[in-house]
Amino acid sequence: MTTKTKVEIKADTREILGKNSQKVRRQGLIPAVVYGRKFKATAVSLDAKEFTKKVLRSGAGRNLIFSLKMSDAGKGKSVPVITHAIQRDPLDDSIIHLDLMHIIMDEKIKTRVRIELLGTPIGVKEEGGVLVHGLREVEVKCLPGEIPDKFEIDVSALKINASLHISDLKPSGKVEILSHGEEMIAQVSPPTKEEEVAPVVAVPEGAVVPEGEEGAAAVAEAAVKEKAAPGAAPAEKGAEKPAKKEKE
């Protein structure tokens, strides 16, 4: 279940919006917006290092419920939130924006929970197969306090071509899985076979190669002729030796 912690992060309301948000990031802050069904959308900024350490590196990760201590014109209020979306820079993977959703503890919400594979498949250890990790997150619906930190699934019994799907997960009765049951989580694929490469026969320059097996034979014969001694005519198959000249 979600780790029961009392994490609190300070946030300041901000007036710098849009492209000007780069000024906020240069100060080591993350531009964010807080919203909810019963909460007016508010633009804020919070310390990037503090968010990474207290939230993302926690056991629950982005599903951690934490208090956002918001200050506006000298007034402060504590708002329970969960990380709904993280926007990252494609170049350095740094966080450039956050969507924080205000939650009501007795109302169900939708979120995504990561999937962790346990063990080494028998098809990998004994048959040389390859483990393919398919779906890495599953969408769920439940009360905020019932959100799992993660789903663990044992893959050690998987043989070649065997697989596990969303339907194989066993959540508690309080957690509803929304992802389709047939979506693949893990599969053991057969080992790849090395293809035999046919030997390359050198073709004399300017030669025309016929198609099919006859063409291949012609190429081989041409190669033999190329290796013959200079000026020597190739012997014809089945040709008779010249008769000896009789003495007069």
Report yes or no on 237 lying in a domain: no
Element of type H or E holding 69: strand 66-72
User: What CATH number should be reported for the domain holding residue 67?
Assistant: 2.40.240.10
Which of 144, 171, 189 terminates a domain? The answer is 189
Assigned domain for 136 exists: yes
* Number of compact structural domains in the chain: 2
**Neighbouring residues of 131: CB distance < 8 A, sequence distance ≥ 6:** 117, 120, 121, 124, 155, 158, 186, 187, 188
Helix (H) or strand (E) holding 84: strand 75-88
pLDDT value at residue 167: 95
> Does residue 72 form part of some domain?
yes
- Residue 61 burial (CB < 10 Å; 0-12/13-18/19+)? middle
Contact 215, 222 (CB under 8 A): no
Q: Are 8 and 78 in contact (CB under 8 A)?
A: yes
The stretches in the chain having pLDDT less than 50 are 1-4, 229, 237-240, 242, 247-248
Q: Is residue 230 part of a domain?
A: no
User: Which pLDDT belongs to residue 3?
Assistant: 42
One domain, residues 98 and 176: no
Given 58, 86, 104, which residue is the final one in a domain? Answer: 104
Predicted local confidence at residue 6, as pLDDT = 81
pTM of structure? 0.65
Domain interval for residue 123: 111-189
